Amino acid sequence: METPAEIRERWRYLRDLLIEQLGRFESGALQMHSHDENVSSGAIVMLKRHIIEFDELIARSIAREGPGHK
């Protein structure tokens, strides 16, 4: 099982990849065609909001762990 620090590190890596891809969607450099998925600008905004919310959740978790944890 992964430690909390390993989970946070993994999240940071995935977060950076996702933010990069969302930026490419917004700029038009990357396009996705799908039958059922919403890939509109509103969906991108929603994903970014979820990223920020998850970052805040992790920050609260770190604060609860106290000093000395990463």
CA-based torsion, 57, 59, 61, 64: positive or negative = negative
Q: What's the rounded Cα separation, in Å, for the pair 63 and 69?
A: 9
Q: What is the pLDDT of residues 8-31, one digit of tens each?
A: 888 889 999 999 988 888 888 877
User: pLDDT value at position 70?
Assistant: 53
Taken as a whole, the chain contains a residue count of 70
The per-residue pLDDT for 7 is 84
pLDDT of residue 68: 60
Quick: pLDDT tens for 39-67: 677 888 888 899 999 888 888 888 887 76
Provide the 3-class DSSP secondary structure of residue 28.
coil
Instruction: Compute the distance between CA of residue 23 and CA of residue 19 in angstroms, rounded to an integer.
Output: 6
